[in-house]
Structure 1
């Protein structure tokens, strides 16, 4: 979930190179709505989006899970300080990548959180 169109295209391309499919949301509220309507393997969450930021969106997603299966949420943010990482984890995100996101780091994060499915990797 990313609000900047150029960053959306870059993220989608990176995810595709790793063998996943991606759907994009322009803001946190749109992301929460999409996640409520359909099942995803993981979420790449920008922390700074309009309407509802990634922190609030993550808290909303976690509240809706209410003890059910936990959806992996990986922060993708320009913040590169330890405090940024801690804030993401405190909001309920499972992992953290700082921008610009390195393809190998993205691959490692997805491998940590997305169960491998035989023949196909989807997101």
Structure 2
């Protein structure tokens, strides 16, 4: 396997580095976007297996970006897997993520075991490099 392609949409540089370094150890091919608008721009030129989307960002937040992605996919068979990422752990936040079109949700700080559990439910398997 050439590695799972992942778009990390996160405005916090420390979180970007932590998640990037963690997932790089498992062979992920990662692009980073600082907000939802940058994510949409990246999706214009490349497809990804998984999008890890922060909810609270400047310019365009994760929920608005997710709605735009789902609008773009309306007439396509293939859909992006979007996992919401937020510091909030309330059930209402999870429900909002799912109702806005995200496939799953996880709380910060980033937990590699939880992430592995989530992506395995979509048929992806992580391997150490």
Q: What is the TM-score with the length of structure 2 in the denominator? A: 0.85
Structure 2: distance between partners of 1:6 and 1:114: 29
Q: 1:100 matched to which residue of 2?
A: 109
Residues 22/114 of structure 1: CA separation in 2 closer, same or farther (3 Å cut): farther
Q: 1:53 matched to which residue of 2?
A: 61
How many aligned positions are there? 119
Q: Which residues of structure 2 form unaligned runs of 5+?
A: 1-8
How far residue 96 of structure 1 moved from its aligned partner, in angstroms, is 0.5
How far residue 102 of structure 1 moved from its aligned partner, in angstroms, is 1.1
Q: What is the TM-score with the length of structure 1 in the denominator? A: 0.89
Mapping of 1:19-98 within 5 angstroms? Answer: 19-68=27-76, 69-98=78-107
How far residue 13 of structure 1 moved from its aligned partner, in angstroms, is 1.3
Runs of 4+ in 1 over 6 A off after TM superposition: none
Residues 90/73 of structure 1: CA separation in 2 closer, same or farther (3 Å cut): same
Q: Which structure has more strand as a fraction of its residues? A: 2
Q: Which residues of structure 1 form unaligned runs of 5+?
A: none
Root-mean-square deviation (CA), in Å? 1.9
